[in-house]
Amino acid sequence: MFQGTLDRSGKTGSIGRIRERRKSKRYTTTMRVGMMTTDAGSQLCLVKNISAGGLRAQTFSPVVVGAHARIELKTGQIFSGKIIWVQDDHFGLKCARSIDVEEVLTSASALPPGHSVRLPRIDIRRGVTIRLGSLIFRGETVNISQGGCKLALKQPIDAGEVVVSIAGLYPIRGVVRWREENCVGIEFNELIPLSRLAAWSKEPGNASGFGMAS
């Protein structure tokens, strides 16, 4: 039986926090990927439920009750507040300002023509090898998201279907979407699972920053 999570004062805080988070009706989202920033750093998260007063999300690194957090969704909304409960790999965020739930849930479908949903990207430098047919190209990552990456290569590459091998990740099939000087943009054929990308970004040697990929 769950006994509660200790807050910073050493007292059990989860039971009261859980009651508090149930005061307002929860709306199940479409599993919105977000970038969360706290004093401990930045990491990917998955927002699962949202209400006017706050949200419930899954995290892939430990967080603590009482910490202040800022979460930016891939659709651009930003939520700031305090973490009021933690249970396993989930946490509750009480937001400083009321959330317009309807606006959040309809934001993706209301984007202007030509604008796409942005995926959180990780600014990270790792060795990479690209195979284009029988040709091999080498370089390093500039940033990576679930859906693609920006690479700095040592030599130009033509457009086409490629296989991208990044140190620490499995080979990923994709397409060269743009080229600019020594950099190229690759769109993956399939999304990298959020949990896998988050775990990889925290591996030793993967010092990284976070942003939103357009």
Burial call 155-176: b when 16+ CB within 10 Å, e when fewer: eebeeeebebbbeebeebebeb
pLDDT > 70? residue 14: no
- Residue 118 has what pLDDT? 63
What band does 29 get if pLDDT is binned at 50, 70 and 90? low
What band does 2 get if pLDDT is binned at 50, 70 and 90? very low
Q: How far apart are CA 37 and CA 43, in angstroms?
A: 7
Query: What mean pLDDT comes out for the span 155-171?
Result: 92
What band does 176 get if pLDDT is binned at 50, 70 and 90? very high
**What mean pLDDT value characterizes the chain?**
82
What band does 47 get if pLDDT is binned at 50, 70 and 90? very high
Sign of torsion over alpha carbons 202, 205, 208, 214: negative
Q: Comparing C-alpha atoms, which of 58, 54, 51, 53 is closest to residue 34?
A: 58
**pLDDT above 90 covers what percent of the chain?**
49
**pLDDT above 70 covers what percent of the chain?**
75
pTM equals 0.66
- Residue 3 has what pLDDT? 45
Range with top average pLDDT, 92-106, 110-124, 125-139: 125-139
Q: What backbone torsions phi and psi does residue 108 show, to the nearest 5 degrees?
A: -65, -40
Domains contained in the chain, CATH given:
14-111 (2.40.10.220), 120-213 (2.40.10.220)
pLDDT > 50? residue 95: yes
